[in-house]
Amino acid sequence: MKKKTMAFMALAALMLTQKANAQTVNPSNGTVSPEVAPTEEKSNIPWDGFDQTWVNGNDRRDSSIFHIPYFTPSILIDNNITHSFNNPIDHTVVGSTALSRNDEMVISAINIGGDFSYGNARGRIMTQFGERSQVVPRNDLSPYRGQYDMADAYRYLDEAYAGYHFNKWYGINVDFGLFMSYIGLNSYYQQENWEYQASFTSDNTPWFFNGIRIQVFPSKYLKIEPWIINGWQSYGSFNALPGLGCNITWIPQENIKMLTNDYWGTDAAGLLGRHRFHSDNSFLYRYYNRPQSKGLSRMAVSVTGDIGFEKGDGVNGFTNSATNGPAQYFESWMIYDKIWFAKNHLGVYFGGGWMTNPGRYLVLAPTGDASPFPNPSNPTQTVGTHPFTENPGDQFTGWDCSAGFSWLPNQSVEFKVEWVHREANVPYFAGPGGVTSPSGYTYTPLPTGWAPDLVKSESRVIFAALFRL
């Protein structure tokens, strides 16, 4: 009987340890997951005691409701309805990774998965279904290199990695697989962002990486995260070299967050001599905090600035050159402010941004007949007959602004209504004629002289319902 009692007590202790581990806040991005090994003391958890639920691009929850040994489930549902005042005949949204169809209820994303941990072993699987499983992979052209259909093989996964946690300093994690990038500040999961339609800075930078991630926490306040990856939001690689990058995040106190993401790679297919560099930098500041106030309860601001370029094999970074080719670079910024009321259950937010990208190497190409992407049945031809060009020297400059209202009845559900206005210096957004065909349907033959109706501006309103458990 004594042995049975001791065995029961040991099992109970293990379950309690795993339960505590399942509620740990992920120090990589603030999400609730078992980042810290159960053998570590609580005092060695990065940013322990810091409330990061206010941060743009971060989990809104302060804990998980699940207390399951070895596994912390995660379920996310993202639905939206949007209306463009351009009224495109084919209902197509151009230039967005969050939206796809106008004037229709859209199941944008359903993500199901969670975090696994046993001892210091760790793993995460998050599936993705809905429109985003089509909208985001279409921007990756690496599957056209070689055999096997990587776009379809990975399409229904947004995170999938295995790794190990080392009990050194405040922790070291080494992960292999598919993980989020957070370049451009915003999260791939809309449940973590202040705004729904991301500014140009975020929407034109990567949502995911495929490779190796090393997270080093030398102190409670600092994370250094090197990457060795296939490339810039690419399932595969375009050339012989991997992409290299690093995130550095410093949170010196609860109301301040600073970070930089820097990347180098060769991401132009077949052009090994063309190198890409990108630097993404953000500062976030919570300047008012009265969480129990029934009136004004919290205020915060986020500022992001990006700069980068491509150089070699026909392009020349920031300057035009008669010898080395035209300038090809990326500059952008965005700023958002959010104000919370009623114990953080209500919020209003506003902001916007600007970008310029000569060469258009990061611009989200218009969909439909304006697409410049290879035809899957014949990669020597583009899908559309009037492709949006991405030649060296092609100009693109755009700006956007938005304002919205959010209601959070509890930490698992949020309802948003948002107004967005975007403009570009060249025809880019879907106009009344759409980008598909004269009728708006893909089966309608294209008559001679027809072209996608692209215009320089658009205004829209978005309604979104977001759930997270």
> What is the rounded distance in angstroms from the CA atom of residue 55 to the CA atom of residue 257?
8
The domain tally of the chain equals 1
Does position 348 have pLDDT exceeding 80, yes or no? yes
Give the model's confidence band at 198: pLDDT under 50 very low, under 70 low, under 90 confident, else very high: very high
| 148: in domain | yes
Range of the domain at 80: 74-468
| Residue 133 placed within a domain | yes
The pLDDT, as a whole number, for residue 377 is: 60
Whether 59 is in a domain gets the answer no
Please indicate, yes or no, if residue 60 is contained in any of the structural domains. Answer: no
The per-type count for the chain, helices as H runs and strands as E runs, is: 4, 20
pLDDT of residue 199: 96
Q: Is residue 42 part of a domain?
A: no
Buried b / exposed e along 326-362 (16+ C-beta atoms within 10 A):
bbbbbbbbbbbbbbbeeebbebebbbbbbbebbbbbb
pLDDT band with cut points at 50, 70 and 90 for residue 414 = very high
Closest CA to 221 of 248, 239, 245: 248
* pLDDT beyond 60 at 2: no
Which residue in 228, 353, 235 sits closest to 302, CA to CA?
Answer: 353
- Structural domain includes residue 353: yes
Residue 61 covered by a domain: no
Kindly report the average pLDDT of the chain as a whole number. Answer: 87
When pLDDT is cut at 50, 70 and 90, the band that residue 378 belongs to is low
Task: Write the pLDDT tens digit of every residue in 38-47.
Answer: 444 456 888 8
Q: What is the pLDDT of residues 265-289, one digit of tens each?
A: 998 888 888 999 999 999 999 999 9
Task: Please state, for a pLDDT cut of 90, what percent of the chain lies above it.
Answer: 68
In terms of Cα–Cα distance, which of 29, 35, 33, 28 is closest to 68? 33
Each residue of 47-74: pLDDT tens digit?
888 999 999 999 988 888 888 889 999 9
CATH, residue 110: 2.40.160.10
User: Taking the CA atoms of the chain, what radius of gyration do you get in angstroms?
Assistant: 23
pLDDT at residue number 380: 61
Q: Is residue 233 in a domain?
A: yes
pLDDT in tens, 111-123: 999 999 999 999 9
